Structure 1
Amino acid sequence: MARPQHFGYFFSRGFGPQAWGRSDWDWGHDWTKPDLYQQSVRTLEQAGMDLVIAEDAISLGNPSTLDLRIRQAYGGPKHDPLLLAPYLFAATSHIGIAPTVNAGFTPPYLAARQFATLAHLSSERLGINVVTDVGSARHAGLPPLPHDQAYDRAEEWITLLRRLWGSWGSSGYVGDPSDWHFADGDALDAFHNEGAYFTADGPLNALPLDSDPVVVSPGGSGRGLAFAGTHSDVQLALAPLSAAAVADYRGRVIAAAQAAGRTAADLRILFVLKPEIVSSSDEADRIVEASRHLSDDDLRTAAIAWSSDSETDLLALDLDAPVPDGTFGDHVSSRHDPRAARRHPGRPAARAPGTQGPQGAGVLARGLRRHRRRVRRLHRGARVGRRQRRHHLLGRPAPGADPPDVRRPGAGAPARVGSCGGEYGAGGIRANLFDFWWWTGSTMGGPARPVVDRLDHASIPRRHGQSSAVRRISARSEAELIAQ
């Protein structure tokens, strides 16, 4: 029997204009309201996902690329996903929610108290996706920092948060109603911290947690991987999905963890993929071949997206030439370099083979046809019919389909398979992620196996007894599926 795997979903436009520039914008959702996101997380929870990570950027960008970032809503506007999180927790019972937070932008004491409050409200389903964006500093009157110093600040920030979360110790909270003894002040850690970047005092004015919120990190540079190895519970990994590349990436993250006195079992490495689900192998081959012969319009579309992500105007470059050294400044982590350029040194970034259409690198999935019977069974009784519902599940409307009804709970979601209580264990997001662990690399014995080479492998159900068809939630929305 195939091994279970961990899955999550990445809202790559965060709390921003979902579906802008696509036909499903006509469904009429208001992206500023919680309904659309609540429906999404309900569906993802029914599919057995471990967590949802919501992207964010505090700043609209630097003046030179401001128009590039907002003209087609690639980089903004965005609302704060931390404030959306309570609505998502209210709509679900088990799935973890990890909004993006900027280490250093929010003072440690305030951040620790906000996150502790949300962790209690959600029964410890809160995670935090920690980023080190240095371009936002000017909005708060903070000095900009080079890339590595931003990670130094993030290290101090997360270390201080953990000390604040632990400032009640194991005996500070008493809660004994027999003599109404609520807490023992002598057991609390009333510390004073003066660091290179932050000054703060404990203890934290919030009840202690059973465990700290899960820390997610996306940094792919050497400094970013060192941060992940030392502090993170989940590393969001951008790498080519070949066996060799996956094994190499995992090896570097785990080496960083071991250097910090941790083990491979102490963190999860979730590789980002953006599957395109098609109906046949012929259609898959056609799309792959077409992606090798992109038009100038396709290249400009990709360049605009990369320009937005990197806050660097790539439209001023020759799209048929390699990206020159020094194009990206200190504000850009190596993970934001166009991935095709890293994969094919010396080739033009936008014309490198293997990119899937104008949306950039992707994984083409071919396995849907063999599961057609299961998909039909999964969607039996769906309100708008099987064909339309399948397209809704895959994130794009079928011709003539009605928009999903987000006004009543559960509408537009696949039928629940099995018992939610039986699929998820107690303990919140940490239990979701650490209820099992498989080593898939090559440095601990045995050959490495690719995390994904087709949909069949990427969609193994995480919990036994769950239909594998329910895991076939595809991208082509503004979300990216992440899998370990």
Structure 2
Amino acid sequence: MTRQQHLGWFLARGFGPHGWGHPYLDWDYRWTSPDLYRQSVRELEQASVELLVIEDAPSLGSPETLDLRVRHAFGGPKLDPLLLAPYLFEATRAIGIAPTVNPAALPPYTAARQLSTLQHLSGHRLGVNVVTDTGSARHFGAAAPLGHDAAYDRAEEWLTGVRALWRSWPEDALVADVESGVYVDGSRLERVQHRGEHFAFDGPLNAVPFTDGEPLIVSPGGSGRGLGFAGAHSDVQLALAPLEATALRAYRQRIHDAAVAAGRTADDIRILFAIQPTIVASAEEADRLVRASANPDDATIVQLARKQSSDLETDLTALDLDAPIPPGTFGDHVSHGSIARLVGDHDATTTPLRVLLAGLARLRRTGDGTGLVGTAEELADRIEQLGEEVDNDGFLLWGDLHPVTVHRTLDELVPILRRRGILRRELDDRGLRANLLGS
């Protein structure tokens, strides 16, 4: 029997204009109000979703692609998910919330203190999605943007510093003895003096120790450097890979190898593969959608080019659709994973851009194991099968945090998974670590 799977939700649009471009805009939710998110996160918790990861990008992008990012709300505007988190914690009791934090945006001491505060206020349900978006760096100082690998070096130094500050209070430093009148034994606090390549700060942290563990660290990133970072530092890896046993098994092995190389064990990290299923009422309806996607029209291709331009911070709409992408089009700051998703299995040097975009438009069936369009029963079959074949940890469902999207995805799927014993019926209220790591 497949072990229980962890289920999370990836809010890919971030704290942005939910409903824009969709028919359910006319439900008249205000995306700038917490009510939309509080209602949706309660539904996730009812469905035993353990973790909500909220995407973010502090920047509206480069001047060349700014209009493309905001015209159709693909890449902005976005509000700060770190400030949304308290509203979501207040509305729930057990689900974990992981807002995205960019090391370029928050100095280690400020980050450590703010994250410590949220960990305590939430009952130890905080996660931190650490990203290395290099394009945002110009908003936070005069230093030149870092390259892809150098941004991971900075993130590594940042996270190491944050953890050092969290751990600057040994367990016995907080005395809280009423009879003696001693609250803290200051002699036991670690001073922490950090002078690194990217950051300089002193401790100890003006906070108190955690009672149920530090915030969980989440990281995305499919490059070699990104996988190495996850293996060495992350509790949860937001993974992207073809939903096929061989690919998932190889991905998991790379993460586990990186963890072992860093002195950890494979069980120290949970790998959750992000999927965006389209759940329909029948196999016939799924077949119809797949057939219709085989030959996208020009309007669909252009719309995909706009969205990819936002994700890649590169104006694809200015390129010749019927020619390969010219070498050097993507700057060093562009996510390797985003480029890989566009290119897929094609040879980027010879494949016309139109073909790459058409590949993104192409839907495939859940039932035959090639895609994610199918019935809830078929998706449950696939989740169960991959749990058995690759000992998978679980999945992050990718979508807006809108009641319509949540129900469309979970209404049929959750009962099926529960009846099969694949999904738990209730979350542990001891915190995020207890749910995801069992600690």
Scaled by the length of structure 1, the TM-score of the pair is 0.77
Query: Can you give the 5+ residue segments of structure 1 that lack an aligned partner in the other structure?
Result: 372-388, 397-413, 437-484
Deviation at 1:318, TM superposition (A): 3.0
> In the TM superposition, what are the counterparts of 1:385-464 in structure 2 within 5 Å?
393-394=407-408, 423-435=426-438
Structure 1 range deviating more: 139-148 or 101-110? 139-148
Aligned to 1:242: 244
> In the TM superposition, what are the counterparts of 1:349-368 in structure 2 within 5 Å?
349-352=356-359, 355-356=362-363, 363-368=372-377
Are the aligned partners of 2:94 and 2:432 in contact in 1 as well (CA < 8 Å)? yes
% of aligned pairs identical?
54
Distance 1:153 1:27, change over 3 A: same
Instruction: Please give the alpha-carbon distance, in whole angstroms, between the structure 1 residues aligned to 2:324 and 2:371.
Output: 20
Counterpart of 1:241, as a letter, is L
Deviation at 1:324, TM superposition (A): 3.7
SS of the equivalent of 2:301 reads helix
Instruction: Please give the alpha-carbon distance, in whole angstroms, between the structure 2 residues aligned to 1:26 and 1:423.
Output: 33
SS of the equivalent of 2:359 reads coil
Query: Can you give the 5+ residue segments of structure 2 that lack an aligned partner in the other structure?
Result: 365-369, 381-402
Deviation at 1:340, TM superposition (A): 4.8
Aligned to 2:203: 202
Aligned to 2:54: 54
Are the aligned partners of 1:279 and 1:368 in contact in 2 as well (CA < 8 Å)? no
Aligned to 1:159: 160
> In the TM superposition, what are the counterparts of 1:18-417 in structure 2 within 5 Å?
18-143=18-143, 144-210=145-211, 211-337=213-339, 339-345=341-347, 346-347=350-351, 348-352=355-359, 355-356=362-363, 363-368=372-377, 393-394=407-408
Counterpart of 2:174, as a letter, is Y
Question: What stretches of structure 1 move > 4 A for 4+ residues in a row?
Answer: 368-371, 389-392
Deviation at 1:435, TM superposition (A): 2.6
Deviation at 1:312, TM superposition (A): 0.6
Are the aligned partners of 1:323 and 1:341 in contact in 2 as well (CA < 8 Å)? no
Distance 1:30 1:391, change over 3 A: closer
SS of the equivalent of 1:292 reads coil
Are the aligned partners of 1:292 and 1:353 in contact in 2 as well (CA < 8 Å)? no
Distance 1:25 1:354, change over 3 A: closer
Structure 1 range deviating more: 335-344 or 37-46? 335-344
Deviation at 1:245, TM superposition (A): 1.2
Deviation at 1:422, TM superposition (A): 7.5
Distance 1:16 1:52, change over 3 A: same
Instruction: Please give the alpha-carbon distance, in whole angstroms, between the structure 1 residues aligned to 2:405 and 2:231.
Output: 39
Structure 1 range deviating more: 226-235 or 422-431? 422-431
Are the aligned partners of 1:319 and 1:349 in contact in 2 as well (CA < 8 Å)? no
Instruction: Please give the alpha-carbon distance, in whole angstroms, between the structure 1 residues aligned to 2:102 and 2:71.
Output: 24
Counterpart of 2:336, as a letter, is S
Structure 1 range deviating more: 276-285 or 157-166? 276-285
Counterpart of 2:430, as a letter, is G
CA RMSD of aligned residues (A): 2.5
Deviation at 1:251, TM superposition (A): 1.4
Give the number of aligned pairs. 396
SS of the equivalent of 1:9 reads strand
Distance 1:422 1:65, change over 3 A: closer
Counterpart of 2:307, as a letter, is A
Distance 1:321 1:245, change over 3 A: farther
Aligned to 2:392: none
Instruction: Please give the alpha-carbon distance, in whole angstroms, between the structure 2 residues aligned to 1:17 and 1:41.
Output: 17
Structure 1 range deviating more: 131-140 or 425-434? 425-434
Deviation at 1:11, TM superposition (A): 0.8
Deviation at 1:343, TM superposition (A): 2.6
Counterpart of 1:365, as a letter, is G
Scaled by the length of structure 2, the TM-score of the pair is 0.85
Are the aligned partners of 1:15 and 1:78 in contact in 2 as well (CA < 8 Å)? yes
Aligned to 2:398: none
Aligned to 1:476: none
Are the aligned partners of 1:128 and 1:213 in contact in 2 as well (CA < 8 Å)? yes
Instruction: Please give the alpha-carbon distance, in whole angstroms, between the structure 2 residues aligned to 1:129 and 1:174.
Output: 33
Distance 1:87 1:271, change over 3 A: same
